[in-house]
Amino acid sequence: MSSLRETMLKQRYQLLDLICKFPDRSVYIAQDCAYDKRLVAIKEIKQTILDDWAPEDIPALIAAIEREPVLLASLAHPQIPQYYDHFSDDEAWFLVMELVDGDELRRWLSKSLPGELLWQASSKERTTKLLAVAIQLCDVLDYLHTHTPVILHRDIKPGNIMITPQGLVKLIDFGIAAALLPGETGGAFWGLTPGYAAPEQERGKWTTIQTDIYSLGVTLSCLLAGQHSPWDATSEPFTPPETIQPESLHSLLTQMTLQDPEKRPDRAKCIGMKFREILTDLQRGPSTDVQIRQLLASPSATYRTRGKLETCYQGQTMWYQFRLPTKQRSRLDVPAKITCIRSQAYVEVTFVNPHISVKEQRWINPSHLWKLSANNAREE
């Protein structure tokens, strides 16, 4: 390309800055002159990438490159960059998408914990932050894995996880993702990240949902153990280091990184729930823990909004805030997750990491919530 700021792509996108550059691909910040001069990210893949491939493999490589924009265009999730446009010329393919304002996961940790060395074993604060990130990642993976067709990311690693200034986790780079119809598996065709890729992916075998689960487990294990990459592991095959605490977290990561994909957990949603339980145990104080357990001892100790509940569908969740009485204070503010089940609503008490916010968080007056008795809906 000529001078960067003199470059106009498709007579519409004015290049402004270079985000990263590799021999066969680059990512730029650009201005969309046809859409209120919004800032976008443009991923360029040069056709010189074909020079390193055998002639018989080139058609499949081109198909993989052209599949990424089609796949992104089919997705709609606040934690996945939004697709805007794609085009090509005689020299390269271009993908235009949402510009993510934030830091890569490892850099975000460094900035959030300025006094902590990331190559040392994790502190409680770093563990808490990573658990909060992991919960959001599980939400994104659950969306991808329950999508029709199923979407496998196949390249989960710290460099593909971004954290915005608001604490929202973004999963980026779907360059080697696969879209699978029910019952299908996807081959790891033209790219992977050694160490983070699952064993079946590195061997060129078929990939499944458990392939993403493995990569997430390795990513978290390395950051928790203070390893720069999976290559720093002292065991082969990879197993989470014993320094990872608490034991419940080490056990879960061990399950996620088993060599046999059929023995790994197969639902990101369930893994996210376990991460949330571990995070809650780390954050809650002993006295508060006892009091909340007492308040929720009865399975019918549920909460609902006073008057008309906001319209929601079965399985839909919303975030509210309500107050619990404690012995130490008359009221304790607690973030609460309300899930609609059969047109009724119950509250699952959870503690949210103050460093990680939920984009869809909505707050209502705490006095608008009250406890339901075991068999009726009268106010107590």
Write the burial class of residue 125 (CB in 10 Å: 0-12 exposed, 13-18 middle, 19+ buried).
middle
- Residue 142 known to be catalytic: no
Rounded Cα distance between 220 and 234, Å, is: 16
CA-to-CA separations, 337 to 78, 178, 302, 317, in angstroms, rounded? 18, 32, 12, 7
Question: Choosing from 32, 85, 139, 155, which is the catalytic residue?
Answer: 155
SS3 242: coil
Q: Are 220 and 106 in contact (CB under 8 A)?
A: no
Handedness of CA 140, 145, 150, 156 (dihedral sign): positive
141: nearest Cα among 149, 131, 152: 152
Cross-strand partners of 43: 27, 95
Rounded Cα distance between 246 and 254, Å, is: 13
Give me the sheet containing 161-163, strands edge to edge: 103-104, 161-163, 169-171
CA-to-CA separations, 65 to 85, 106, 227, in angstroms, rounded? 14, 27, 32
Q: Are 321 and 101 in contact (CB under 8 A)?
A: no
Place of tokens 């992977």: 192
Rounded Cα distance between 329 and 341, Å, is: 32
162: nearest Cα among 209, 106, 203: 106
Q: Are 43 and 25 in contact (CB under 8 A)?
A: yes
Catalytic residues: 155
